[in-house]
């Protein structure tokens, strides 16, 4: 709050800090001591070192983040509602999309809350003086950590499958969820506890300078760098295998009963086929992870560099002396001093390009991960909810079928009658209890077995006519018991 009892002893647009009491993030003020007076730049500082077009660019990037968040939400809902055969969902993809949605929320929230960035004329708000600041900072830090960690887990999964020929199963899935959501939680606690967040760059809060390198930037950039290195190493190995396969003239046929990856030495051509199959299944996730991790790295580098510039100006006034003198001479007209500010700030066009690319990350992710089967799946779901896909009516006359016969419906409409174990022709003293009950007409006359669910053992019954009562001999006698064929 301003102290009206005193006058401003600084040359405009700079303001004497003695006119204001504590509150907000006092350490976030950009001030220099001139004689016995401490003069501070008006808040927010970012508006004085970049042109007015940059504010519009930042707002456009926020709206792009809203579109990206909607795309991420659509993907998550689709994976949760539709069956897997329609979506081909994978926990590594869903975790990565959820992390990106969380990060986008850090830019979406300010669109609706429209927060005041400054506590007073020279002091920015922090997470203690502004709830919006705390929320946006939390979303950005936690989401940024989660995006990087899930990207690393996907790269690690690909590396284990391609280089080490290891299948990632349930244990890897559980560990991925624990690491993917637990590590960002630890990183968030360290960042908020040791550094805190405040309005430093736009309408979203970012981490403060004290301890920020140790508790956020170095760890997160290390994980991101490891992801990039692991991905490039895997790609290099794939290229090596491909070149080896070109020179391999051996003809190796691959059947459904191939030995396990770890139990044999793969030929170059066989290894190439396995690697190609993995890439065909995961190329979407690999592509989007590479793009978004690169954007996160660039965005982090810009924030780190900008933070270092602000701190260097506070400790060494000579760095921005020409800009300060220009503002004093032009009576606060920043447009005439922007060329002076370019000497110690990140290029405005570079920052704008990174912001716009980051805003479109969710849109590009949606374009890559969406499948035509998802659209047909939603169409079928809405059609069934509309009552168009009604179940077939079952007549009560079906209950009066002869209980002594069992039939298995085939696609062609034909049925095969199997002699019931309770019929007189079946030897009662040799009844084998089947582990899987064959569906009868009495149980469900309107739901025939599909060809995909028909056991292969029944193909023999379709091709051979029913045998004599002796056909139902016990398996121990060398005969065939069709009711025991279903045992796994």
Q: How far is CA 405 from the centre of its chain?
A: 54
> What's the whole-model pTM score?
0.73
Domain presence at residue 210: yes
Domain presence at residue 307: yes
Domain presence at residue 56: yes
Determine the 3-state secondary structure of 2 from DSSP: strand
- Give residue-wise pLDDT tens across range 72-105: 999 999 999 999 999 988 999 999 999 999 999 9
* CATH of residue 221: 1.20.1070.10
pLDDT at 478 (0 to 100): 42
CA atoms of 402 and 441, how far apart (whole Å): 9
Domain presence at residue 340: yes
Tell me the torsion sign for CA atoms 144, 150, 152, 154: negative
The alpha carbons of the chain give a radius of gyration, in whole angstroms, of 34
pLDDT at 103 (0 to 100): 95
CB 408 within 8 A of CB 415: yes
Locus of tokens 């056991």: 455
The tally of domains found in the chain comes to 1
Structure tokens at 434: 């089947």
Locus of tokens 């051979």: 464
pLDDT at 257 (0 to 100): 46
The residue count of the chain comes to: 488
CB burial readout 416-448, b (16+ within 10 A) else e: eebbebeeeeeeeeeeeeeeeebbbbeeebeeb
Domain presence at residue 284: yes
Q: Which residues have a Cβ under 8 Å from the Cβ of 349 and sit 6 or more positions away?
A: none
Kind of pairing, strands 15-16 and 197-201? Answer: unpaired
pLDDT at 320 (0 to 100): 85
CB 279 within 8 A of CB 238: yes
Domain presence at residue 456: no
Determine the 3-state secondary structure of 391 from DSSP: coil
- Give residue-wise pLDDT tens across range 141-188: 999 999 999 999 999 998 998 888 888 889 999 999 999 999 999 999
Locus of tokens 């899930």: 150
CB 343 within 8 A of CB 322: yes
Look up the domain containing 237 and give its range. 45-247+268-385
Cβ-in-10-Å burial (0-12, 13-18, 19+) of 153 comes to: buried
Domain presence at residue 406: no
CB 355 within 8 A of CB 72: no
Domain presence at residue 488: no
CB 220 within 8 A of CB 145: yes
**pLDDT means per 10 residues in the chain (488 residues)?**
62 89 88 84 90 91 96 96 91 94 95 93 93 96 96 92 86 96 97 94 91 92 92 83 68 45 57 73 73 86 84 80 88 88 86 91 90 93 74 46 44 42 42 39 39 41 42 41 39
């Amino acid at each position: 709050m301003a102290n009206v009892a005193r006058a401003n002893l600084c040359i405009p647009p700079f303001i004497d800090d003695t006119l204001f009491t504590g509150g907000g993030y006092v350490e976030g003020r950009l001030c220099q001591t001139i004689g016995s007076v401490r003069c501070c730049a008006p808040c927010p500082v970012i508006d004085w070192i970049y042109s007015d077009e940059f504010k519009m660019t930042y707002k456009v990037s926020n709206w792009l983040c809203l579109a990206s968040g909607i795309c991420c939400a659509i993907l998550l809902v689709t994976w949760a509602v539709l069956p897997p055969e329609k979506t081909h969902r994978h926990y590594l993809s869903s975790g990565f999309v959820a992390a990106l949605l969380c990060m986008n929320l850090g830019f979406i929230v300010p669109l609706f809350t429209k927060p005041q960035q400054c506590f007073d004329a020279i002091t920015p708000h922090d997470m203690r003086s502004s709830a919006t600041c705390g929320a946006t900072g939390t979303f950005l830090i936690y989401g940024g950590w989660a995006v990087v960690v899930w990207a690393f887990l996907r790269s690690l999964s690909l590396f284990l499958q391609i280089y080490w020929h290891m299948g990632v199963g349930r244990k890897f899935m559980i560990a991925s969820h624990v690491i993917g959501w637990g590590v960002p939680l630890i990183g968030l606690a360290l960042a908020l506890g040791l550094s805190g967040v405040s309005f430093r760059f736009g309408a979203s809060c970012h981490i403060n300078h004290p301890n920020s390198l140790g508790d956020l930037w170095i760890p997160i950039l290390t994980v991101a760098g490891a992801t990039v290195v692991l991905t490039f190493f895997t790609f290099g190995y794939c290229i090596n295998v491909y070149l080896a396969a070109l020179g391999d003239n051996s003809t190796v046929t691959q059947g459904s009963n191939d030995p396990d990856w770890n139990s044999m030495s793969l030929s170059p051509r066989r290894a190439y086929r396995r690697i190609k199959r993995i890439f065909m299944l995961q190329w979407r996730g690999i592509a989007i992870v590479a793009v978004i991790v690169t954007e996160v790295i660039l965005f982090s580098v810009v924030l780190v560099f900008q933070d270092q510039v602000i701190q260097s100006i506070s400790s060494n006034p000579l760095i921005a002396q020409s800009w300060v003198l220009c503002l004093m001479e032009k009576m606060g007209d920043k447009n005439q001093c922007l060329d002076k500010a370019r000497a110690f700030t990140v290029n405005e066009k570079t920052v704008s390009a990174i912001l716009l690319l980051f805003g479109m990350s969710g849109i590009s992710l949606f374009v890559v991960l969406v499948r035509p089967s998802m659209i047909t799946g939603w169409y079928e779901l809405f059609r069934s909810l509309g009552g168009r896909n009604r179940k077939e009516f079952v007549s009560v006359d079906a209950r009066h079928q002869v209980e002594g016969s069992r039939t298995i419906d085939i696609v062609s409409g034909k049925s095969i009658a199997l002699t019931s174990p309770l019929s007189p022709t079946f030897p009662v003293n040799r009844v084998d209890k089947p582990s899987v009950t064959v569906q009868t007409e009495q149980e469900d006359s309107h739901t025939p077995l599909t060809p995909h669910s028909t056991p292969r053992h029944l193909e023999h019954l379709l091709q051979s006519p029913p045998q004599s009562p002796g056909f139902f001999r016990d398996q121990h006698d060398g005969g065939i018991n069709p009711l025991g064929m279903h045992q796994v």
